[in-house]
């Protein structure tokens, strides 16, 4: 699995383009803005984007969904508990930050332990509610794309509607802390980390 990393939108969301080297089939994870930059990277690598996957439904992770979908024909995937956030500016919080972002509804709804196949890549869906009810992480071999569930020495906010601190901590402990120390964590904001580093240094989950 190859990964192109971009910082997009006003809040510096980490968008990841994952692709299979053999087939050039790809998935775009959390296109939260900067649609032109994302599309340029896709064209530059000659990728065939099959899926747009949102780790959750907040505006800074979905804002470029429609533009990327129009450019690629990809299907939009999101956990079923966050699906209505795509079509509601109130639910995705954009109406509160001077926007009003609404997207096309999802083409496919995800659940815990689903697998998304992209060429030779298998992305396992881990439902990790707490930041939002339908927050997910995506696991492939030794890489975890964590959305806003787990950050470097921090965790996602839980003070938004639908958030729960206790639920988020339980999600991390029950799903992520069972992974091997050498699993690389690619969060929705900020620098990379690893499961081992967070296990030993993240004060929220000690």
What are residue 78's DSSP bridge partners? 109
Q: What pLDDT score was predicted for residue 203?
A: 97
For the beta sheet containing 75-79, the strands, ordered from the edge strand earlier in sequence to the opposite edge, are: 2-8, 13-19, 25-29, 48-53, 75-79, 108-110
**Residue 188, Cα to own-chain centre: how many angstroms?**
6
Neighbour tally for 7: CB within 10 Å: 15
The answer, yes or no, to whether residue 58 has pLDDT greater than 90, is yes
Q: Are 34 and 67 in contact (CB under 8 A)?
A: no
- pLDDT tens figures, 66-81: 999 999 999 999 999 9
Q: Is the pTM value of this prediction over 0.95?
A: yes
Q: Which residue bears the tokens 């990790």?
A: 128
The CATH T-level fold of domain 2-205 is Metallo-beta-lactamase; Chain A (3.60.15)
Domain layout of the chain by residue ranges = 2-205
The confidence band for 98, taking pLDDT boundaries of 50, 70 and 90, is low
Q: What pLDDT score was predicted for residue 96?
A: 79
| d(C-alpha 157, C-alpha 155), whole Å | 7
Mean pLDDT of 114-126: 98
């Amino acid at each position: 699995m190859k990964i192109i990393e971009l910082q997009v939108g006003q809040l510096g969301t980490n968008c990841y383009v994952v692709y299979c080297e053999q087939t050039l089939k790809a998935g775009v994870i959390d296109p939260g803005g900067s649609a032109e930059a994302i599309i340029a990277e896709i064209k530059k690598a000659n990728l065939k984007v099959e899926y747009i996957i949102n780790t959750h439904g907040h505006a800074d992770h979905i804002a470029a969904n429609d533009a990327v979908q129009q450019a690629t024909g990809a299907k939009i995937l999101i956990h079923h508990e966050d699906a209505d956030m795509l079509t509601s500016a109130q639910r995705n919080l954009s109406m509160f930050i001077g926007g009003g972002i609404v997207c096309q509804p999802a083409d496919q709804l995800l659940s815990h332990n689903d697998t998304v196949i992209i060429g030779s890549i298998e992305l396992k869906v881990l439902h990790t509610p707490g930041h939002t009810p339908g927050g997910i992480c995506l696991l492939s071999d030794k890489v975890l794309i964590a959305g806003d569930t787990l950050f470097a020495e921090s965790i996602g906010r839980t003070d938004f509607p639908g958030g729960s601190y206790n639920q988020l901590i339980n999600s991390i402990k029950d799903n992520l802390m069972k992974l091997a120390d050498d699993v690389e964590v690619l969060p929705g904001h900020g620098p990379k980390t690893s499961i081992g580093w967070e296990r030993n240094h993240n004060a929220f989950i000690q």
